[in-house]
Structures are given as structure tokens and as C-alpha cells.
Structure 1
């Protein structure tokens, strides 16, 4: 197993822009609570085809006003070069210096005619480097269990390497529950000459039906023993959360002990599950 360079592990938190004013007020409280853990940054998601653009802008605006380091997601599929550069200039003017560069998904119902000038994440990374040089630190996505649309693992690894070669600084993985998948992925990247930090994405377990729905959509495997235990709890949310805390805490410990450079938590705009994990891990 190839461990990455060991330093103090970084932590970062992902948020999504709320749909309502009340949701935004709730998010502010969540951010204030999460910020007590002193994360390196908060990332803010960006809907398919830029569908949450204004709400993403508003969330980033508020975070920056609080002096909180922020990494907006930016997806490129279906976008033009001109509008993408305009968004990047907007973020640069806000003082944002980190971007999560993604291919993204077309909005539901959009056909191939909706494709734009940028259709792959490596093209977005290249554009950022061409127009903005090193003004942004660029995070890209990685898939230890491989992208659900990739025809095979070799193609997925080649696609990831293209993003790195285009100028990515580090990567955040899709969430997973099998640490061996992560370590094998890191080893395979290393054999390809990819040495950027690869940060595991961590999804707390708080609700079984939601977890299954998310995992089926994004291609994440829930190991059978975890599925069976969660199924056995039925609607007992307290037991699901207690078991989920044990499982994900042990996952994070194995990752950090094995050399993972940090952890990126998919918070789902909730503070308690992530903060309990950080507390258990001494972060």
C-alpha cells in the first residue's frame, strides 16, 4: 500500500445551497457550528447545468463575508467558455482562491443538443489554468470505486490522470465505505505518476433509505454487512445513527492511519453527524 505524504490531516466540509430563505438561515447556523472544528474550507455545490448558480453565489458571498475560506463547485458540461470565465472572474473578485472543478450533469430532460463548449472536467481545468494561471487552487473529483459511467477502470483512471495533467492541485473522492478501494486507487494513481493529494470523501450514515438512494445513483457500494445491519434496524433512527457513527469513525481511522492526507465531509447541511465524527477522531 502506498501511503501519501503524512502531515496533520486537513478537514473540509461540503454544503449545498438551500432553496428557501428559511433554509438559508438554517444553513448559517449550521456553518457557525461546523466552523468550530476549524476546517480548511467549506465547499458549496453547484446544480446540474448551473441550476443553483444564484443560490451558490449567495452562499459563497455570505461565507466570504464571514472570512471563511470557500471553494465553490463549478461544473462545465453544457456551459460556454465565456460564461464560465465570467463566473470565475466573479469568484476571483470575491477573494475566492479555490475551485472544485467538475464535469457535472446536464439538467434532467436535457438532450445532447444542450452540450456546450466545455464537456469534460479536464477541459475546465485547462481553461482555468490558461485564463487565471495559479490564482485558483483546483480540486477535482476522484472515484475509488470508479465512475458509474466509465466503461472500465482503466478508462476512468486515464480520465482522472487527464484532469491532473491539465493542472489539478488535489482531488476529493466520491464517498465510499470500503477503505481498501481507496488505498488501491491511490496505489494505481501512483503507478501512473499521479502524486497529488487525494482526499477521501466521507458520508455520515444517518438514514438508511436516503443512503441507499444516493449510493445507487452515484455508484457507491454499501458493503453487504453494513446493508444487513442497517436493514435490521428498520425505522429505528437512533440505532441507525449509533451504528453509522461506529462504522464511519472506524473507516476514517483506517484512512488516516493508512496515510490519507485529510477528510472531506459531505455534511448534507447538518452539523451534528459530522461534528460527532470529528470529536470521535480527535479532529
Structure 2
């Protein structure tokens, strides 16, 4: 049988990828022996993909300070290009500066500078009387402290506390002007939202790299909780794709990887070459998406010092 392929048929989504994709990965600091084993298993699985950097989150008000410092110190010892998250909520400038100094002494040269979530009863934010008022002030303070590379947050959809999309752009510009190197976006599932945000940032004179944050989703309920905190939109079609898969974890992972990989592929067509994956301390989905994007393990990218 012969098949006639009409002009409307397109090649595979993952055909002819440019082969110059860069990735970075985000982890959270473990708090139990079991979680520690999972943390290192995830890192060991993703490290051969030669990430530009790996970041470790920092709890609101410094609630994970010691665990974050322990994780980034261990990663730095292993020669990983590690970035430590740092917030200014509920802390004085002296306290924040001391944490930054601790990171520097541990060999960390990259900070993800964030304001942090509000700690009020209603979730509202108020600056510490002796603290940095916002992320832009934090960035400015860090640049005076040490020559850190600094990443900041960006929001393709309006932040829940923001007055408008333009206010978000203005805030991002203040952070970049204060000395930030790049912006990493909150997760999103609509390519057009990211592209519109990128265009608006360029129109505002922002030339720093804007790295899309990618969250491969296998648990829609959990993702909705995350989305409510940062103003991200979960499309209705995602519910239908995961419907009936609660008892089929393998299929659920395949669907999750496909959604995230298609999102990345569409962005690749639009010139994006760096993706930041929110791993939730699991490697499988992020690794699968990276593989679909053409990344393969790099020989010689191995930890310099294994940690038991």
C-alpha cells in the first residue's frame, strides 16, 4: 500500500532539534535519611546531562537554612555548579548578609535571589524593619557583598500580589538593573504567555536571559496547590489527560513527560535554548524530557568527590 503525505503533515516534534539546548535543575534540601538518599540519587541521575547549574531552595524566613547550606556545600564539594536560593523575608540585612557569607565560604558563587513568600496570617508580605525590602534590594546588597552570579524570579502570568502585568515587568527590570544575571520564570503551560512576557521584557529594555521554568506534572492536584501560590494557570485539558491514571503510574509519567517535552519543543522553535527544571527531587521526568530534547549523558561529567 502507498501513502500520499500531503503538504499539511509535519515531521516529528523532535526532528531536527538544534542540539544546543542547555538545562539546569532545581532541588529542595532533604530532611530525612530517606530523603537524602533520594536527593543524591536524583542528582547522580541528572548530573551526566551537564547542567549549567543546579539550585537548592531555601525555606521562607530561612526555615531550611542549615539544610540548604548543607546541601549546597556538599554539591560544591563534588564540583557541581551549584546555586543557593536566598530570601529576605523575616530577616534583617545582617542576618541575610551572614547567610550569603556562609554560602560564599562554602564555595557557592551563584545565588537565586528571591523576596520570599509572605508570612502574615493572610499570607501578606511585610519587609523586616531592618531587612531588605524586596528582591531588587537583595540583589543590590549581594553584589556589594561578593561577586556572585545572581538569578532572580520572573512571572509569565501576573504574580498574585502584583497590580498588573506591567508592574511585574517593572519589578523584573529593577532586579536586573540592580545586578542580576538572568531571570528564571515560574512554571507555566501556555507557550504564548511566555512569549508575550519575553516580548514585553525586551520592550522594557531587559536584555538579560529569561529562562523558562519547566514543571513536568504527574500530580495535577499537587500542581494546582503550587499554582495557587504563584498565579500560574493550569489548563483544563490537563485534567482530562490525567483522568483515570491514579493507578497507572507508568502511564502517568509518560503523559507528563510528553506534555513537558512538547512545551519545550515549541519554545525551542521560538529560539529558547535554556530550560530550568523543577525536579521535586525526582529525576525520571526531567531526564525523559531532556532526552527527547536531544541531550545525552556527557562522558567526563562525573562528581569530583562522592558523598556517602
**Fold conserved (TM > 0.5)?**
yes
Match of 1:77 among 81, 86, 89: 89
User: Quick check: 1:15–1:269 contact (8 Å CA) kept in 2?
Assistant: yes
The answer as to 2:122 corresponding to 1:122 is no
If each structure's helix is expressed as a fraction of its own residues, which one has the higher value? 1
1:182-261 alignment, distance < 5 Å: 182-231=194-243, 233=245, 235-261=247-273
Aligned-partner SS, 1:158 = helix
After the TM superposition, which of the residue ranges 154-163 and 17-26 deviates more from structure 2?
A: 17-26
Query: Which ranges of structure 1 fall in alignment gaps of 5 or more residues?
Result: 1-5
- 1:192-222 per-position Cα deviation (integer Å, ceiling 9, x unaligned): 0001000000001122221222222322111
CA separation in 2, counterparts of 1:112 and 1:188? 26
Aligned to 1:277: 289
Post-superposition Cα deviations, 1:30-87, rounded to whole Å, max 9, x if no partner, equal: 2111112111111000001100000001101110111111000000122211111111
Structure ID, larger Rg: 2
Q: Which SS does the other structure have where 2:243 is aligned?
A: helix
The list of structure 1 runs, each at least 4 consecutive aligned residues, that deviate by more than 6 angstroms after superposition, is 110-114
Q: Distance in 1 between matches of 2:145 and 2:49?
A: 34
Indicate if the aligned counterparts of 1:43 and 1:72 stay in contact, CA closer than 8 A.
yes
Unaligned segments of structure 2, at least 5 residues = 1-17, 296-308
Indicate which of 52, 55, 62 corresponds to 2:64: 52
Offset at residue 148 of structure 1 (A): 1.5
Q: What is the aligned residue count?
A: 276
Structure 1 residue 26 displacement after superposition: 2.2
When the two chains are superposed, the root-mean-square deviation of aligned CA atoms in Å is: 2.0
Q: Scaled by the length of structure 1, what TM-score is found?
A: 0.91
> Partner of 1:140 in structure 2?
152
